[in-house]
Amino acid sequence: MRINKIVKSSVLICLIIVILTAVGCGSKVYQDPGPKLDNQVKNIRYYFQQGYRDDWEANFDPSEYALDARYELLLEMWPAEAKGDALYSIYTGDTGLLLTTVLETTEKMMDPEQDLYFNKRFIRDEKERENFQFTSDNTLAIYNKLQYQHVSYSFTQDGVEWVGDFYVTMKGSKYYVIVWERKAEIKDKYHDQFIESISDYRFIGFEDEN
């Protein structure tokens, strides 16, 4: 009898532990906390939402079309006090390949022989960057639970040295490229503000296609 009581007590304790563990795990399920910055650009047509600071300015089409359909440039924004000296841009496109990966797509962007080569595909006003060169390999970066492939580069514009970083993420066959360029002399000045911005980027609307 005593043995049976011990067994029953042990089973009961185990059940309690399992229940408490399940409840604890449930409370840790990640939920998007929602927009962080006061200003939000929501684009259902291209399935993304981007926040920006009060002391930044933004250029986008209120009708949700691309700013430049040739390069599928969707949005530009910048620190107001650094207009012309720093620029945050979002581009998009479709690989047409459902089984491709963000790593494979990024590698194509680093290959001058590919149509997706960064300095031909992600430009403004049909103007390639001068003296363009990559200054890093592609590495993993994570912001707001989204995984990116990150690459750094340098170039000149009208004789002035610039630095840049691009971050590639994907949803299905669609890729999104966030580009952060600034004059070399202010390379790190707005770094924290950039992190705020990319951390307030998210996908929206894809679930409606299912």
User: Which of 17-21, 128-132, 179-183 is predicted with the least confidence, judged by mean pLDDT?
Assistant: 17-21
Range of the structural domain that residue 65 is part of: 39-205
The answer as to whether 180 is a domain residue is yes
Q: What is the pLDDT of residue 207?
A: 59
79 in the same domain as 24? no
Q: What is the pLDDT of residue 98?
A: 82
The answer as to whether 3 is a domain residue is yes
4 in the same domain as 92? no
Which of the listed ranges 16-20, 23-27, 32-36, 48-52 does the model predict with the highest average pLDDT?
48-52
pLDDT digits (tens, 9 = 90+) for 38-68: 999 999 999 999 999 999 999 999 999 999 9
Rg of the chain over all Cα atoms, to the nearest angstrom? 23
CB neighbour list of residue 49: distance below 8 Å, 6 or more residues apart:
35, 40, 41, 42, 43, 201, 202, 203, 204
The answer as to whether 134 is a domain residue is yes
**In the predicted model, what is the mean pLDDT of residues 174-191?**
98
127 in the same domain as 158? yes
The percent of residues above 70 in pLDDT, for the chain, comes to: 82
Task: Report which of 44, 49, 16, 23 is spatially closest to residue 34, judged by C-alpha positions.
Answer: 49
Rounded to the nearest 10°, the torsion over CA 116, 120, 123, 126 is -130
195 in the same domain as 128? yes
The answer as to whether 168 is a domain residue is yes
| Residues 52 and 197 sit within 8 Å (Cβ to Cβ) | yes
139 in the same domain as 90? yes
CA distance 158 to 169: 30
The answer as to whether 11 is a domain residue is yes
Number of neighbouring beta carbons within 10 Å of residue 158:
6
Task: Report which of 115, 109, 199 is spatially closest to residue 151, judged by C-alpha positions.
Answer: 109
Scored b (16 or more CB within 10 A) or e, 131-145 reads: ebeeeeebeeeebee
CA distance 158 to 196: 29
171 in the same domain as 71? yes
pLDDT at position 10 over 90: no
User: 3-state secondary structure string, 35-84?
Assistant: CCCCEEEEECCCCEEEEECCCEEEEECCCCCCCECCCCEEEEEEEHHHCC
Q: Which residues pair with 77 in a beta bridge?
A: 58, 88
Q: What is the pLDDT of residue 15?
A: 43
The answer as to whether 169 is a domain residue is yes
Residue 32 pLDDT level (bands cut at 50, 70, 90) = low
The answer as to whether 210 is a domain residue is no
| CATH for 127 | 3.40.1000.10
184 in the same domain as 154? yes
Per the structure, the count of domains in the chain is 2
Mean pLDDT computed over every residue of the chain:
87
153 in the same domain as 74? yes
65 in the same domain as 4? no
The most distant pair of C-alpha atoms in the chain lies apart, rounded to whole Å, by: 91
Task: Report which of 83, 47, 66, 74 is spatially closest to residue 202, judged by C-alpha positions.
Answer: 47
pLDDT digits (tens, 9 = 90+) for 115-125: 999 999 999 87
pLDDT at position 34 over 70: yes
